[in-house]
Amino acid sequence: MELKVLDHGYVRAIEDWGYGDAKIAEAGIIEAARQSTQGAFRGWDKDMKLLAFMYEHRHESPFEFAGLIIEVQAPIFIFREWHRHRTQSYNEMSARYTELPDLFYIPSIERLMAGKQSSKNKQGSEEGFTEAQAAKLQEDMTAACGYARLAYEWYLKEGMSRELARLVIPVNQYSRMRASANLRNWLAFLSLRLDPSAQYEIRQYAEAVSTIVESLFPRTHSLFTGDKKND
Ligand SMILES: Cc1cc2nc3c(=O)[nH]c(=O)nc-3n(C[C@H](O)[C@H](O)[C@H](O)COP(=O)(O)OP(=O)(O)OC[C@H]3O[C@@H](n4cnc5c(N)ncnc54)[C@H](O)[C@@H]3O)c2cc1C
């Protein structure tokens, strides 16, 4: 499954695990829990209750026996936030080895109209720009990125190393990485990054991750969303 995010980004599912001996999605979580009694997976008609019990009572380690690897294309400022989640493993494109793609995140007019510095939340944005002002800001941002790109390409053409030429690149430059985590830690990531207090752009990525988690781990995801509704 691959989901488009923002103007040039995506989240793509690469690999998932947690099938256990039963070879059924999420059964590995139950099998891990049953290690205490040396029991096996008994089928979802019986074991959904156990899954819900563990989730509700925060018996979380069995949820570490399922997991997911994704590939993400996102602006560098998103990766700055994302990489704070230390319980995921990462490998990212290197701008020392590879020329960066000519891809910059330019916010939509709607996002820019809601992009005034918030008067209430020091970390946030609020409505306030007219459509005409937003269009002007968008045009200006595109030109600034174009100028940065021109400088980058000029330095490379002159023979400057990639590791130095990248210094003029802004943080809305797209990069690419793979991220791997167990299900427990994906849910922790989603809890923080789906929250309205998280920046709009990383929330769009969290929504895509949530859709993938829902498709692969529907039972655990429904417990997670049920839990969120009860917050
Ligand atoms: C809305 C929002 C605003 C933010 N603003 C800022 C900001 O202004 N400045 C800033 O620097 N960061 C900011 N952050 C990042 C935030 O502080 C966390 O670094 C980030 O959300 C990762 O969370 P985490 O540490 O729980 O995740 P992970 O690193 O994945 O850790 C998961 C859990 O493992 C445990 N753990 C991991 N490492 C340790 C450790 N070394 N010691 C003890 N327990 C550990 C903790 O229980 C932790 O919750 C912000 C995050 C959000 C969501």
Beta bridge partners of 116: 126
Q: Is 219 a catalytic residue?
A: no
| C-beta 84 within 6 A of ligand 1 | yes
Identify the active-site residue in 58, 149, 193, 219: 193
Q: How far is the CA of 97 from the centre of ligand 1 (A)?
A: 30
Query: Is 90 exceeded by the pLDDT of residue 29?
Result: yes
Nearest to 18 by CA among 184, 145, 204: 184
Ligand 1 contact via 203 beta carbon (within 6 Å): no
**Ligand 1 pocket, residue 57 CB under 6 Å:** no
Answer yes or no: is pLDDT of 94 > 70.
Answer: yes
Q: What share of the chain has pLDDT > 90, as a percent?
A: 90
- Ligand 1 centre to CA of 85 (Å) is 6
3-state class (DSSP) for residue 4: strand
Q: State the pTM of this model.
A: 0.95
Ligand 1 centroid distance, CA of 88 (Å): 12
Average confidence (pLDDT) over 53-69: 97
| Ligand 1 centroid to residue 66 C-alpha, Å | 22
Check residue 120 and give its pLDDT. 86
Residue 230 has pLDDT above 80, yes or no: no
- Ligand 1, atom 38: closest residue by C-alpha: 86
pLDDT at 228 exceeding the cut of 70? no
Q: Which DSSP string do the residues of 175-188 spell out, in sequence order?
A: EEEEEEEEHHHHHH
83 Cβ closer than 6 Å to some ligand 1 atom: no
Under the banding of pLDDT at 50, 70 and 90, the label for residue 161 is very high
The residue to mutate among 192, 193, 195, having the most atoms of ligand 1 within 8 angstroms of its beta carbon, is: 192
pLDDT digits (tens, 9 = 90+) for 167-180: 999 999 999 999 99
Choose the residue to mutate in 60, 82, 86, 122 for probing ligand 1, maximizing ligand atoms within 8 Å of C-beta.
86
Query: If you measure from the C-alpha of residue 84 to the centroid of ligand 1, how many angstroms do you get, rounded to a whole number?
Result: 6
pLDDT bucket at 118, cuts 50 / 70 / 90: confident
At 229 the pLDDT is: 54
Mean pLDDT along residues 39-44: 94
Task: Identify the band that residue 117 occupies on the pLDDT scale cut at 50, 70 and 90.
Answer: confident
Q: Which of 42-56, 113-127, 140-154, 185-199 has the lowest mean pLDDT?
A: 113-127
Which residue owns the Cα nearest ligand 1 atom 1? Answer: 198
Query: How does pLDDT run across 208-226, given as a tens digit for each residue?
Result: 999 999 999 999 999 999 8
Q: Does the pLDDT at position 77 exceed 60? A: yes
Instruction: Report residue 10's pLDDT band, with 50, 70 and 90 as the boundaries.
Output: very high
